[in-house]
Chain A
């Protein structure tokens, strides 16, 4: 059974803290994605990665960075958390060989609250 695991379902952090959101997939997928989801705004793409050590900016990369040192792991980093980064964060992966026709497999989400 395919699986995308996000390390934390719920986090509460303070403004200015550095935050790491971890995502691991067990499907040997090349492509991995980070989205944030906010009411009324749907899902917005933050960063994605086609392969190890590769990263591409999505639509809203400001205030975020990512790391992909291993194929199975894609980390989202908030260098200095701010209250407007309070959101649900969703990680997803996709088989790179499927190209644009591939479905995304999502994790359960990490709900981050920044106080």
Chain B
């Protein structure tokens, strides 16, 4: 039961550019989380946004949430080569987190 779906599946940009990834989901949520995964490694939590929040910032990350459209976006500003990774959104579903398929971001130096 896939809840979150990311778009695009892959994104390639130059260092210094901004990267935007989108996530859509199907059912109502309490919160939405974003995770990052470096190649061949585990996932690392980036940020959580609650259903009553519309925007949240953490360093170079900006997350928005539109519950009416059931969508969220993750913006990474001034990207660096070290941001190259896969990014996943996750929504809660009965006590468990359900992940989307991820966006593969490549930042070229």
Contact = CB atoms under 8 A, between A and B. Distances in A.
B73 interface: no
Contact of A101 (B1, B40, B48, B101): B48
A106 B42 contact: yes
A42 B101 contact: yes
Given A45-B96, A48-B96, A50-B95, A100 B31 contact: yes
A74 interface: no
Given A42-B2, A59-B1, A100 B43 contact: no
Contacts of B35: 104
A109 B42 contact: yes
A41 B41 contact: no
Interface string A69-113: 000000000000000000000101000000111011111110100
Given A48-B96, A103-B33, A103-B48, A108 B43 contact: no
A91 B100 CA distance: 17
Interface residues on A, range: 20 to 34
Contact of A104 (B2, B40, B43): B43
Contacts of A105: 45
Contact of A100 (B1, B44, B92): B92
Nearest to A94: B97
Interface of B: 1-2, 30-31, 33, 35, 40-45, 48, 50, 88, 90, 92, 95-102
26 contacts: A31-B95, A33-B97, A35-B99, A42-B2, A42-B88, A42-B99, A43-B43, A43-B88, A43-B99, A45-B97, A45-B98, A48-B96, A56-B96, A58-B96, A92-B43, A101-B31, A101-B50, A103-B33, A103-B45, A104-B90, A106-B42, A107-B42, A108-B41, A109-B40, A109-B41, A111-B40
